[in-house]
Structure 1
Amino acid sequence: MTETWIVLGASSTIAKAFIRSVAEQGAHVILAGRRMDDLDATAADATARGAEGATPVMFDARDPATFDGILDVATSRPGTLNCAVFVGSMPPQDAIDADPSILDGVIADSLTGPARVLQMLAPHLQTRGTGAIVGVGSVAGDRGRVGNYVYGAAKAGFATYLSGLRNALGRHGVHVLTVKPGPVETAMTEGLGPQPFMTTADAVVADIHKALQKKRNTLYTKWIWWPVMTVIKLIPEPIFKKMSI
């Protein structure tokens, strides 16, 4: 049966690695993003790798007018329909402190935009009774930290949304996977300097596929972030307020 993957934020480094992987499996890919020239190049590469087809679609998480086009293309596809969300933005916290209006875009990119698309898609997946959703969040959403708490808040909200969506759609045969990467070698992390337990986009994608096969609910990647974040979440607030992590 034909599989279709909607990829939101298809120009990101991790998204491109994911697109390569499902293209090699023969899936049809719907590449949703803002940079149409980049999407066209990714579509050509996906087709060359064996994708059943590749369709670039304009998508801006801050512009709901672009959402319907994705659904129109996706719901016309036969077979199993899946969606992977790689959308997000992480401006420096000090930039947001200097200009609080930046906050709106961060929340739209990492939470409200992708959540709204998934909410529109959910009834179609429920009717089909099959499919998967991969939502990429961040370990930054596990606890508000002084260095990136706006980004962390957006990712925390997205993780909570995915948890509820998993509860709702899981009753209808649709699997929802929440992915919480630590630092990944991407354009977003350039300039941040050495980061603990840094990983690569290809490694994250390999972990995602393993988690999908096992029907995991939440994936930390690298795995070491699960015990690390468990400890961080247990630190009492009076102590945590004095820490710089």
Structure 2
Amino acid sequence: MTEITPQPGPRLRVLILGGTSGIAEATARLYAAEGADILLVGRDRTKLDTIAADLGVRGAGRAEVAISDLAAPADAAAELSGFAATLGGVDHILVAYGILGDQAEAARDAAAAERIMTVNFNSAAAWCLAAANLLESQGRGSLVVLGSVAGDRGRRQNFVYGAAKAGLAALVEGIAHRFAATGPRAVLVKPGPTITAMTAGMTRKGLLWAKPEAVAAVVRRAADKGGPVVYAPWFWRFIMLIIRFLPASIFNRLDI
């Protein structure tokens, strides 16, 4: 009797916008372990090349880089189409870049506030809409976008950044609703405070701080299954539920 050897399935083709972010790099390593083809997009070629080389060692089928100023896309749809062509098609798209900015500066300087909004909402929205059109045209695939728990309620410590993330949340949830009967999926992942370069100036101690690897595991699962909004780690869903429903008389006394 002839033994039939199972043939491996096609490799996932993964596009990561913001490939040098800590969460993106940790997520890319998970994809690499699956043998996926990965295209990392960002501005820092040296860092992207280093990450790509590491992904190759970790098992990626292909690990390539593309240089783009994601915060100022001239034509997001055309660029995205080019990225997909480089991969030979795309299955998963991760939008993972952003800036925290300085709330005190943004509160007094309109240009600083505009920069936070432009990077975290305007440009991200352009990429998300382009990705939605691409995935809808092929009838399959996943768009996963990194949001933030900061978007759940305006707080004095980061309300400009939070406003941008709140807008992005509404956009991605709308795309998920649009996809409901068409095949692709869109997911917003809302991390809590995470130990990455973005939070380097903060006191990063306590049980509420997550490592990028923990958030990456949530991101990777979200590309395959789950609802349109996922918190990372999971307990932030309940923390933010409490914060959202606190009466203003109590909320306004909190220094958060």
Q: Does TM, scored on the shorter chain, surpass 0.5?
A: yes
Higher mean displacement: 175-184 or 70-79 = 70-79
Retained in 2: the 8 A contact 1:170–1:176?
A: no
Matched, 1:59 2:93: no
Q: Aligned residue for 1:6?
A: 15
| Paired position in structure 1 for 2:243 | 232
Distance 1:195 1:90 in 2: 20
2:58 equivalent among 37, 43, 49? 49
> For residues 128 and 201 of structure 2, what CA distance do their matches in structure 1 show?
32
Deviates more, 1:228-237 or 1:93-102: 93-102
Match of 1:15 in 2: 24
The yes-or-no answer on 1:89 pairing with 2:99 is yes
1:37 shift after superposition: 1.2
C-alpha distance in 1, partners of 2:138/2:164? 30
Residue of structure 2 equivalent to 1:206 = 217
Question: Whole-Å Cα distance in 1 between the matches of residues 18 and 221 of structure 2?
Answer: 22
Unaligned ranges ≥5, structure 1 = none
Say which one has the larger Rg. Answer: 2
Q: Take 1:41 and 1:200, find their aligned partners in 2: how far apart are those partners?
A: 21
Residue identity matched to 1:239: I
Tell me the TM-score normalised to structure 2 length: 0.89
- 1:57 deviates by 1.2
Aligned partners of 2:244, 2:124: CA distance in 1, in Å? 26
Query: How far 1:2 sits from its partner (Å)?
Result: 3.1
Runs of 4+ displaced beyond 6 Å: none
CA shift in 2, pair 1:114/1:71, >3 Å: farther
Q: 1:76 to 1:30 in 2, by over 3 A?
A: closer
TM-aligned CA deviation for residue 110 of structure 1 = 1.2
**Cα deviation code 1:2-50 (max 9, x no counterpart):** 3211111111111110111111111111111111111111111122222
- Contact 2:39/2:87, CA 8 A, preserved across alignment: no
Aligned amino acid, residue 69 of structure 1: E
Match of 2:16, SS state, is strand
Q: Which residue number in structure 2 is paired with residue 148 of structure 1?
A: 158
Amino acid at match of 2:94: A
**Aligned mates of 1:130, 1:230 — CA distance in 2:** 32
Distance across 1 between alignment mates of 2:150 and 2:234: 15
Q: Tell me whether 1:222 sits opposite 2:219 in the alignment.
A: no
The answer to whether the 8 Å contact 1:26/1:50 transfers is: yes
